Amino acid sequence: MRIIVIGGVAAGTSAAAKARRENPEAEIILLEKSRNISYAGCGLPYYISNLIEQRSSLISFTPEEFAQKYEVEVKTLHEVTAISPEDKVISYQNLTADKSYRQKYDSLVIATGAKPMMPPIPGSNLDRVLTLRTIQDGEKIKRLVGHESLNDIVIIGGGYIGLEMAEAFKELGKNVALVEMQDNVMPLVNQELAEKIEKHLQEKEIDLYTGEAVKEFVGQEQVAGVITDREREIEADLVLLAIGVRPETDLAAEAGVELGVRNAIRVDHRMATSIADIYACGDCAESINLISGKPTWVPLGSTANKQGRVAGANAAGGSASHFGILGTGITKVFDLTVGTTGIKEEQAEESGFEPLAVTVNVPNHAGYYPGFENFTLRGIFDQESGRIIGAEAVGRSGVSKRIDVLASAIYSELTADDLFQLDLAYAPPYSTPKDAVSILGMVADKKL
């Protein structure tokens, strides 16, 4: 049996490794068009800021290490150019030797990932208008910001990457401006919580421009400034585009594979596509929202790992399922932690729920223990059943633990009363006798 995996990183390597465990006799080939197959892309902002000093710290496996450990034939700098499902053949090109080949498969796993959005803005082709997605992107940005003459950086987009990179650039002593087209940064959280993030950014001397879209990048050969739709001109020695990504699915679509939400590859619970013996996983594939039951697309490394494992098992003849996702996410913004899980009110209404939002300011731990402070916790509940269906939090400490507890509660379809009844760990350095989750449950139960 020959299994071919197109693409590495989280999904592709997980698929290849699981396929090997599932079928020790299979021939497994992994093709990746870049030089790296397994690295921690989420760590790039911390590498650029020098918090992570060595590039090697981000490399999970070199191609040689992965090939040896999992007995997989790894071909880096090889790009798949076509899939012929009727013949079960792929065409690919050796990018270093400029030679083309064809290879038959029994099972195929597509893990082509996603790529940064590049808006059709005049001047976006200027030098130093950059995106951050790969190790090579990170190395280029790190090299550029190492020059003392590069001082003014403009970030376009106030999501996860934009906020993490604002901190990274500021840690390097740069002047940082952040432009967000929406009314608030971090659109994944409620306005009240987003405003707390914005206040903190301003405290850290980030020039913040919300509700403004970029109209043009100006400069000769190299970017020198950004002009917004309010005719504001912001000086820029470097611009980072962080407005999101889109699934890399052209190869799959050309082969006749059906696409779904946001043009991600449509898959079932086995990660099987619309074409027999072809599976898809990671940032190129959709998933199911566990609350609404509807297809969704949330490109996260944690999801890619799970999907890759399922796709690899099934491609090798196994029987595995990916249940779905809640879209749980967390990020560090200077001294704040921002976490979110589940769905917001608008999504809840679209899914047939009658949502009730409850916001509480709760202690991170006992008031008499050093480091005490409140953080903001917000829950979305279904008024008919009392179920918690969404949560978000912003604070300096205590956020990550509660978001994970609430993600588990949403997954288990717990109610507001259940949150109060949970037997959570208590000691003064970590919590209060009535934990923040319990307080949220109490207040919600009363309002329900």
Give the active site residues. Answer: 42
Beta bridge mates, 363: 374
CB-based contact 119:216 (threshold 8 Å):
no
CB-based contact 123:26 (threshold 8 Å):
no
Q: How many CB atoms lie within 10 A of CB 322?
A: 22
Q: Give the Cα separation of 100 and 102 in Å (integer).
A: 7
Quickly list H helices, 83-222: 135-145, 160-171, 191-203
Q: Residue 162 carries which side chain, given as an amino acid letter?
A: G
Q: Give the Cα separation of 166 and 168 in Å (integer).
A: 5
Query: Can you say whether the dihedral through the CA atoms of 301, 331, 244, 126 is positive or negative?
Result: negative
Q: Give the Cα separation of 3 and 108 in Å (integer).
A: 6
Q: Give the Cα separation of 3 and 5 in Å (integer).
A: 7
Query: Which residue is it, tokens 């079932």?
Result: 268
Q: Where are the beta strands (DSSP E) in 232-387?
A: 233-235, 238-241, 245-247, 278-280, 287-288, 295-296, 329-333, 336-342, 355-363, 374-382
Measured in degrees and rounded to the nearest 5, phi and psi for residue 43 equal -90, 0
Give every CB contact of residue 172 below 8 A, 6+ residues apart in sequence. 48, 49, 50, 145
CB-based contact 326:337 (threshold 8 Å):
no
